[in-house]
Structures are given as structure tokens and as C-alpha cells.
């Protein structure tokens, strides 16, 4: 079990390390060759203003902050898919609520082996913790030398150790989503400030303002603001979604551990 957890953690760490640079390279290529394609601009050159209604050209005019924001957005999407698959797998094959109901019923009737079999069928993090608790439950039933209080402590400790192995895998990479939620807004704001500086520089020119430079500055400001807010919003939504699902799984684990300990205490008075 522990070796599998270490392997899984290593793979997730490799995924996290690869996602950001791959996303950055993809973002730069898209920015230069797709958004910056001459067909999106007047006169066929990306030095000119975008064609009316051409959003690719508008995004390109957001400047070099745009690839960074696109990188963050791709990273959010990549980790959203990865966390969704991981947490769905951790929940097991069936509904956790139904699984816990079956476990409670089987424990109430003293059917420990049937409960262990149910864990093998369900699989996932919740089932793994419950299974570990049930194994220790049976060990303590056969143990005659220890007093009841120490047996209960031993079962509780086993459940806590199993939980400590499962929870990090559930929460892994969520810190990246929470970081991007704040970082995207700040980088978008930086792009906005840079764009406004260019816009005011165009207005400050002697004589007639440089209309192209003015339009470019305003576009840069607005595009970066939109991308920063959009990326941050996605990160916040998915982060809260996943933490809510993890909280539900954690509650189920706590409920199962409490039931196992109480059942042992009731049957060994």
C-alpha cells in the first residue's frame, strides 16, 4: 500500500513539474503563430490594428503578458482534469453514501468479513481507510493480552495512519490552483498598467496622438484585465469545487472510523 502511494505521489509530482513548461511553450506558439498571424490584422501585418471583430488580433495586441496568462489558464485546466480524475478515483466505484450505509449495516450485524469484501469492491481512499480499520479490528478481537482501552487506541491509530496516507493524495496540486487564483489577477493587473502606460504615452506625443499606439495600449490593458480575471475565476471555482468534494470524502472517512471504534467498544464491554 505504502509503495503504491509513493509511486502515485512521484507520478503526480512529475505531472506537476511538466505541466507548466509545456503550457508555456504551447502558449507562446499559439500567441505568435495563431493570434499573431498577419491575416488577423489590417494590411496583413501584426504591427497594424486588428481587423474589425477579429478577436485573435485583439488578444495578440494584449502584449507579451498574454502568453503568461494563457499559460496560467492552461495550467488551471490541466490540473482541473487531473484532480477530477484523481478525486473521482478516490471516491471509489459506487456512491460513497451508499457504501457507508452498507458498512454501517454490516458492522451493526458483526459481519466484518463482509464489510472487508465491500471495501474491496468499492475501492478508493474511503474504502482503503475503512479496510485498514477493519483489519485492525479483527486483530484486536484475537488479542487477549491488551486491555480494552488500548485496543480501541490501537484501532483509532491505525485509522489515523491510513487517513494520513490517503489525504495528501487527495489534496495534491490544489495549492497550485489556489496560487493561480491570486497570481492571475495580479499578472493581469500588471498587463493593464503596462497597457495604460503605452496609451498615455501615445496621448503625450506632440501634435496629433498616435492612434495606433493609443489603440494598442488600450487593447493591451483590457485584454490582460479580461484574461487575468477569467483565469482567476476559473481557478477559484475549481478549487472550491474540489475542496468541497474532499471535505465530503474526509467526513465519510471520519464517520467510518467512528463507527468501527464504537462497534468494537459495544461488542467488547
Is the predicted pLDDT of residue 214 greater than 90, yes or no? no
- Read off the C-alpha cell for 24: 508555456
Is the predicted pLDDT of residue 141 greater than 60, yes or no? yes
- pLDDT tens digits, residue range 9-37? 555 556 778 898 999 999 999 999 999 99
- Residues 182-203 have a mean pLDDT of 86
Q: CA-CA distance, 86 to 245, in Å (whole number)?
A: 11
In the structure, what pLDDT confidence band is assigned to residue 2 with cuts at 50, 70 and 90? very low
- What are the boundaries of each domain within the chain? 19-267
- Residues 117-145 have a mean pLDDT of 90
More confident call, 264 vs 35: 35
Mean pLDDT of the chain: 86
In the structure, what pLDDT confidence band is assigned to residue 264 with cuts at 50, 70 and 90? confident
Q: What pLDDT does residue 9 have?
A: 52
- Residues 48-72 have a mean pLDDT of 89
Amino acid at each position: 500500500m505504502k509503495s503504491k502511494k509513493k509511486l502515485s505521489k512521484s507520478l503526480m509530482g512529475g505531472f506537476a513539474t511538466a505541466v507548466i513548461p509545456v503550457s508555456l511553450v504551447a502558449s507562446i506558439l499559439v500567441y505568435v503563430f495563431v493570434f499573431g498571424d498577419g491575416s488577423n490584422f489590417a494590411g496583413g501585418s501584426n504591427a497594424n490594428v486588428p481587423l474589425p471583430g477579429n478577436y485573435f488580433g485583439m488578444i495578440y495586441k494584449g502584449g507579451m503578458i498574454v502568453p503568461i496568462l494563457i499559460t496560467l489558464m492552461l495550467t488551471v485546466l490541466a490540473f482541473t482534469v487531473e484532480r477530477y480524475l484523481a478525486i473521482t478515483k478516490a471516491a471509489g466505484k459506487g456512491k460513497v453514501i451508499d457504501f457507508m450505509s452498507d458498512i454501517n449495516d454490516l458492522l451493526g450485524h458483526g459481519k466484518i468479513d463482509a464489510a472487508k469484501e465491500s471495501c474491496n469492491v468499492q475501492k478508493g481512499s474511503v474504502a482503503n481507510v475503512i479496510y485498514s480499520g477493519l483489519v485492525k479490528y479483527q486483530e484486536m478481537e484475537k488479542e487477549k493480552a491488551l486491555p480494552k482501552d488500548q485496543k480501541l487506541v490501537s484501532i483509532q491509530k491505525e485509522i489515523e495512519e491510513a487517513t494520513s496516507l490517503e489525504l495528501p493524495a487527495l489534496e495534491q496540486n490544489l495549492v497550485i490552483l489556489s496560487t493561480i487564483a491570486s497570481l492571475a489577477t495580479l499578472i493581469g493587473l500588471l498587463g493593464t498598467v503596462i497597457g495604460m502606460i503605452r496609451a498615455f504615452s501615445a496621448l503625450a506625443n506632440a501634435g496629433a496622438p498616435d492612434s495606433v499606439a493609443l489603440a494598442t495600449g488600450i487593447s493591451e490593458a483590457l485584454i490582460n484585465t479580461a484574461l487575468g480575471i477569467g483565469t482567476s475565476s476559473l481557478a477559484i471555482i475549481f478549487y472550491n469545487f474540489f475542496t468541497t468534494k474532499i471535505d465530503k470524502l474526509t467526513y465519510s472517512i471520519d464517520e467510518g472510523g467512528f463507527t468501527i471504534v464504537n462497534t468494537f467498544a459495544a461488542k467488547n464491554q
